[in-house]
Amino acid sequence: MQALLDVYKIRQDFPILSRKLFDGKNLVYLDNAATTQKPKEVIDAISRYYSEYNANIHRAVYQIAEEATEEYEKTREKIRKFINARHSEEIIFTRNTTESINLVAYAWGGSNVKKGNKIILTEYEHHSNLVPWQVLGRTKGAKLNYLQVDNEGYISLEELDKIISITGEGKTKLITLSEMSNVLGTIFPVKELIKLAHDKKIPVLLDGAQSVPHMPTDVQDTDCDFLAFSAHKMLGPTGVGVLYVKKEILEKMNPFISGGDMIKEVHKENTIFNEIPYKFEGGTPNIADVIGFGAAIDYLNEIGMKNVREHEVKMTEYLMSKLTEIKSIKIYGPKRSEDRGGLVSFNIEGIHPHDCATILNDFGVAIRSGHHCAQVLMEKLDIVASSRASLYIYNTKEEIDILIDALNHARRIFKT
């Protein structure tokens, strides 16, 4: 059995966390929902690629090219195991979650969504899991149906069942939702939703940008048809995304990007495409950062994703308890820490979120303020923006205390 997470030992692996900011202040990094910091193991893996075996992959037969190909494909297999996919061919590398979802909208949606069809999503979706479906809907004449979010950030399976029944047999072509909201933190019971959808032969796409980095993921257990997530939100580099697609679905999809490395044969009049997953990976990929992502997965596996989740539940409980002590604060999302990921969005009456974030910066505290690429949800909540503190494996109670002190300082400045 893996030992409980030793956060102070973990912090030693992250060079940026030892940085001193202006006036000698420590960096208190609480914007992990946007991107996480990188351990030395990831930085070193990228450096080794460029220093020792920088070469293109899948083409040449000389030694360093074969080494690069081997390390790149090792990451694909690591991802397969990490999410418990059946086949490595079900793992496609993209640039980010956004590109992964666009790939599905174009390569799957272009062939399967027709005029009059429905695509179901939620009111709390990130723009990356909303705008591609709007574009597809306008192109195909399909309609979007939104599952409503209640005052605590939950959505209803009963409402979903009702929407499916109203639209009629075969009309709903896809259900797509974030497994964990990037604003409310809500973790939705996707296994139950997917069973309901599959009973009516409707495929489901999960936006796992927030969920995969923070809790165990098992695509065979949830039985999702598509899963999209990003390396940079789970200790890996920017510029690497992952799309998981069930093999039987992927084999019927057309390519998204055409060109080098996604082909088997090219003639003047026709092209024979490569096998999956390479059929969907046109051009030279982000080799160095995919290899770096492999090191990030190794790091998370060493810690254990159950331990990651347990740490975040405890930290979120502490953060919520401290925030609720602040006068005139409004906290969004579920009250139970077990029902949310390691992030909390809030507003303090009389203080604009951007002003709040600016004052916190004077304390060395980094949080996110704004609409968090979820303006439909902002409209639902009747706000234009919020402040968001988001946690990860290296955050401590002491850092939360610094955040709370800074927030109280902001209140004194604005006399709220």
Task: State both tokens at 360.
Answer: 């916190």
The residues, ordered by sequence, that sit 6+ positions from 371 with a Cβ below 8 Å of its Cβ are 378, 384, 385, 386
If one counts every other C-beta atom within 10 angstroms of the C-beta of residue 199, the result is 10
Query: CA-CA distance, 135 to 130, in Å (whole number)?
Result: 9
Contact present, 140 and 113 (Cβ < 8 Å)? yes
Query: CA-CA distance, 351 to 406, in Å (whole number)?
Result: 13
Query: CA-CA distance, 128 to 29, in Å (whole number)?
Result: 24
Half-sphere exposure of 384 (CA within 13 A, CB side): 4
The residues, ordered by sequence, that sit 6+ positions from 318 with a Cβ below 8 Å of its Cβ are 397, 400
Q: How far is CA 96 from CA 128, 326, 339, 415, in A?
A: 10, 37, 26, 42
Of 169, 97, 164, 109, residue with least CA distance to 133: 109
Is 373 labeled as catalytic in the residue annotation? Answer: yes
198 phi, psi to nearest 5 deg: -65, -30
Task: State both tokens at 18.
Answer: 């030892």
Q: Exactly one of 65, 144, 326, 373 is catalytic; which is it?
A: 373
Query: CA-CA distance, 11 to 29, in Å (whole number)?
Result: 12
Cis peptide before 277 (omega within 30 of 0): yes
Q: Which amino acid is at 217?
A: T
Contact present, 247 and 86 (Cβ < 8 Å)? yes
Query: CA-CA distance, 406 to 45, in Å (whole number)?
Result: 37
Gap between the terminal Cα atoms of the chain:
49
Q: Which residues carry out catalysis?
A: 373
